[in-house]
Chain A
Amino acid sequence: MTFLKINNLSVNYEMRRETVYAAKKVNINVEKGEILGLVGESGSGKSTVGNAIINLIDEPGKVSGGSIILDGTDIYENPENIIKLRGKKIGLIFQDPQTSLNPILTIGEQLIETIQTHLKLNTEEAKNKAINLLKEVGIKDAETRFNNYPHQFSGGMRQRVVISLALCCEPELLIADEPTTALDVSIQSQILDLIKRLTKERNLAVILITHDMGVISETTNRVAVMKNGYLVEIGPTKEILTKPKEIYTKALISSVPPTNKKINRFKIIEKENKNEGETNIKILNRWSKKEIIEQDLVKVKNLSKTFDDNFFTESSKNSVMAVDDVSFAIKEGESFGLVGESGSGKSTIAKMIVNLYSPTAGDIDFDNVCITKIKSNKEMMKFRKQIQMIFQDPYSSLNGRLKVKDIVSEPIKLHNPSISSNDLDNYIYDLLESVELTQQSAERYPHEFSGGQRQRISIARALATQPRLLVCDEPTSALDVSIQAQILNLLKDLQEQLNLTILFISHDLPVVRQMCDRIAVLKNGKLCEISETEKLFEKPSHNYTKELLNLMPKIESIYN
């Protein structure tokens, strides 16, 4: 008998203007001892299915049809069923370990509370059980750590605690909703290994909800692909990833950056803007194109930055060394990658290059002029024009109160105050069309656009000053993988046509491999190694690089 059977599940959200169908007649079966991957882009309904199983759908959503049968019990037949099942039979792991633990209780208290809610154990027995659980999920010194508060654990450790909480009452089904998305790659692989081990040892049925195809291919036995609430395809992971039947699955897989080779362009099967054919970089006519000279456009020399987190004293005792003696050079016309985990100082370096922060020590040369020592505003403007930046979060990088037209025209008017209004309009249209947006977009406000389109507006704004250096700080990490592929293609085209130099910052190694000519690896503010991309991936010299490469989830692992 099937352990979990989802039959024709439909979930509706009654919104003000329309009804949103978050899940439409989804059929999924899960057996004990297997990990089912639930994959899809944002808004595909993958989390909705997970929440429906445990009856956690928020208002105004409701299950409008179908049934969920867990081990012979229909969850929606009787509202009391789910209360019995929650925690006891079903365990849940959330995305963000920061918010899923109560910060004012020790983890011991939280574990004991959960255990005693479901099992009839006295405090001593519950404590023993909790300590055993902590050991099982790989927390060292479980006896002492038992009395610690959540903030005393690192992100990865906290996620282990969350998993031990979910396992408290011996559940048979575990739902993990993006359990590793908030974690660095080295911790991600540990958590995934833990989930795999627990599945085997405890004979669990696991539903792993994620957007990451690499995670899917390394962890799951079967995979279900979802799109707009529909189940597109379900089957053994290897079969789906190597021989997808549906067009959508093919598109999804082709937009995942491969980890083992560099490809020229991503194959785009479904486009966000259907009306566009060939990329048409109209801005080229206006661009005062500079020939690429053999020179280092940016030279970073012994750069350091400390952040003083103490407000009243300026003692260096409390300061945090964000960037520590980093030197590298970017050649004109190349794509230079800056890679590292969170806290490695890569964004801080970017902000120093665009002159948002000033360095504590060291210099940055741009075009053989030291830009960190410029005092006068007028001098600075010359360089502001030549260095532009694209940000990670497409939602906070555009001012929601301005029309797209006004956002894009701001840099144009500032650096060319005498431009006529007619010419300005044409300039804006050219910029928008260069990033594959329509002319009509100019009259709209940012909230009318999707994340990918907003990132295009951001690129248009950055191009408006005709920069030579474009600093891209994780430009695609907030986007879905198919949108990411389109944005990366766009950046490649623009670089080729406009002779741009790009500093590309990312934590995502496969993406960096596709984009960059040379790569620098950072750890805790220090530079580990700089190397040609292919060399770095084939023969890494630094131990940390080897570790990173080893740990990154590889979609290709499915072929072996």
Chain B
Amino acid sequence: MDNKNLTILNRIKDSDIYFSFIKSPTAIISTLILIIIFFCSFFVELVTPYNPFDPSSLSLMDAFTPPSWTEEGLAKFILGTDGQGRDMLATILYGSRISLIVGFSAVLFALVLGVGLGLSAGYFGGKYEMFVMRFTDVQLTVPSILMALLVDGIARGIISRELHDEMAIYVLIFAIGISEWPQFARVSRAATLVEKNKDYVSASTIIGVSNIIIMFKHILPNIMRPVLVIGTIGLALAIIAEATLSFLGVGVPPTTPSLGTLIRLGNDFLFSGEWWITFFPAIFLVILAFSINLLGDWMRDTLNPKLN
């Protein structure tokens, strides 16, 4: 036990999680891909000179340029352009930024709601727990995409047409978050039931620590592992859900397109031979979701105490 003076960096390097990470090529590759995607999406201005949302920089002369390696391709548009002459690569990166923002926010919303309800249900038990858990059971019988469509439909009814395009992204986050929270509630309740019966919780009760502090200071950090795993896989689901909704036309408006919107827009040109307009956003979405899922799988295997 001579590692008492280690810095945080060394603690991480010393941990089993780091060890398992550097031993897993899948985890390293998917993390690398995700880092590149995140960087390019959030700092897209540094990566590409084009701004697809600035109409003055667009030229209809460039419209429908195929990818650069084909015969008619231009070197300056690597992945070609769409019907308005926007560079596909830049459009995809701007779009994935929207997709990621929606995905992260929706998962965060679902996580806070689900863990809050699951943790308190598991801790307090009784009628309250029964009510919360039956409610999640009911919601789990409805496919989450239908749930999201329902929320979106209600929101359209309430919010006026002018406001709707501005509010669309928030409605989307809310809709996806609402459809995903039962997963978090179930997992965190199950983990809480296990932790609640451990002696350290009894010890805190005997000392006189209040329920709220026991829940958040003692139990919450101990149930975060399974919740993080669900959260990672949930992120991929949320991004796909956003793409699905946008593809169906109820997501973000075409003026600020996400990956799903791009796929929908490109879909119209698929049969006239301009395959790249829908193919590249779709492939990008697959790579993104696949990498997140692989990372989630690795996390589940590593963080699951039962498998060690």
A residues with CB within 8 A of B: 16, 351, 354-356, 380-381, 384-385, 387-389, 391-393, 396-402, 410-411, 414-415, 440, 443-444, 448, 458, 461-462, 464-465
Given contacts A410-B207, A411-B207, contact A391 B1 (CB under 8 A): no
Please name all residues of chain A whose beta carbon is closer than 8 Å to the beta carbon of B206 when the two chains form the complex. 354-356, 384, 387-389
Given contacts A443-B4, A444-B1, A448-B1, contact A399 B202 (CB under 8 A): no
B205 x A391 contact (CB < 8 A): no
B199 x A393 contact (CB < 8 A): yes
Given contacts A384-B206, A384-B208, A410-B207, contact A399 B200 (CB under 8 A): yes
Digitize B199-235: 1 where CB-to-A-CB distance is under 8 Å, 0 elsewhere: 1101111111100000000100110000000000000
Please name all residues of chain B whose beta carbon is closer than 8 Å to the beta carbon of A398 when the two chains form the complex. 200
Please name all residues of chain B whose beta carbon is closer than 8 Å to the beta carbon of A440 when the two chains form the complex. 4
Residue of B nearest to A401 (CB): B221
Given contacts A16-B19, A384-B206, A387-B206, contact A396 B4 (CB under 8 A): no
- B76 sits at the interface (CB 8 A): no
A396 x B207 contact (CB < 8 A): no
Please name all residues of chain B whose beta carbon is closer than 8 Å to the beta carbon of A401 when the two chains form the complex. 218, 221-222
Q: Is the interface of B mostly helix, strand, loop or mixed?
A: helix
22-47 of chain B: CB within 8 A of chain A: none
| 25 pairs of residues in contact across A and B, judged by CB atoms under 8 Å | A351-B202, A356-B206, A380-B208, A381-B208, A384-B206, A384-B208, A385-B208, A391-B199, A396-B198, A396-B199, A397-B198, A397-B199, A397-B203, A399-B204, A399-B222, A400-B222, A401-B222, A410-B207, A410-B209, A414-B207, A415-B208, A448-B1, A461-B203, A462-B203, A464-B207
B residues with CB within 8 A of A: 1, 4, 16, 19, 198-200, 202-209, 218, 221-222
Residue of B nearest to A396 (CB): B198
Docked complex Cα distance between A225 and B204 (Å): 40
A398 to chain B, nearest CB (A): 6
User: In the complex, which of the residues A380, A397, A444 contacts B200, with contact meaning CB atoms closer than 8 Å?
Assistant: A397
Please name all residues of chain B whose beta carbon is closer than 8 Å to the beta carbon of A380 when the two chains form the complex. 208
A529 to chain B, nearest CB (A): 29
Please name all residues of chain A whose beta carbon is closer than 8 Å to the beta carbon of B200 when the two chains form the complex. 396-399
A464 to chain B, nearest CB (A): 8
Docked complex Cα distance between A46 and B4 (Å): 32
Docked complex Cα distance between A388 and B205 (Å): 10
Please name all residues of chain A whose beta carbon is closer than 8 Å to the beta carbon of B205 when the two chains form the complex. 356
Docked complex Cα distance between A461 and B203 (Å): 9
A444 x B207 contact (CB < 8 A): no
Please name all residues of chain B whose beta carbon is closer than 8 Å to the beta carbon of A392 when the two chains form the complex. 199
Docked complex Cα distance between A443 and B4 (Å): 7
Residue of A nearest to B14 (CB): A17
Docked complex Cα distance between A49 and B253 (Å): 70
Given contacts A399-B218, A448-B1, contact A384 B207 (CB under 8 A): yes
Please name all residues of chain B whose beta carbon is closer than 8 Å to the beta carbon of A402 when the two chains form the complex. 218
A115 to chain B, nearest CB (A): 34
Q: Closest 6 CB pairs between A and B?
A: A397-B199, A384-B208, A391-B199, A401-B221, A396-B198, A411-B207
Interface centre among A380, A389, A465 (most CB of B within 10 A): A389
Please name all residues of chain A whose beta carbon is closer than 8 Å to the beta carbon of B1 when the two chains form the complex. 444, 448
Apart from A16-B16, A458-B203, list 12 A-B contacts with CB within 8 A. Answer: A351-B202, A385-B208, A388-B207, A389-B203, A396-B200, A399-B200, A401-B221, A410-B207, A443-B4, A444-B4, A461-B203, A465-B207
B197 to chain A, nearest CB (A): 9
Please name all residues of chain A whose beta carbon is closer than 8 Å to the beta carbon of B198 when the two chains form the complex. 396-397
Docked complex Cα distance between A64 and B277 (Å): 62
A356 x B19 contact (CB < 8 A): no
Please name all residues of chain A whose beta carbon is closer than 8 Å to the beta carbon of B207 when the two chains form the complex. 384, 388, 410-411, 414, 461, 464-465
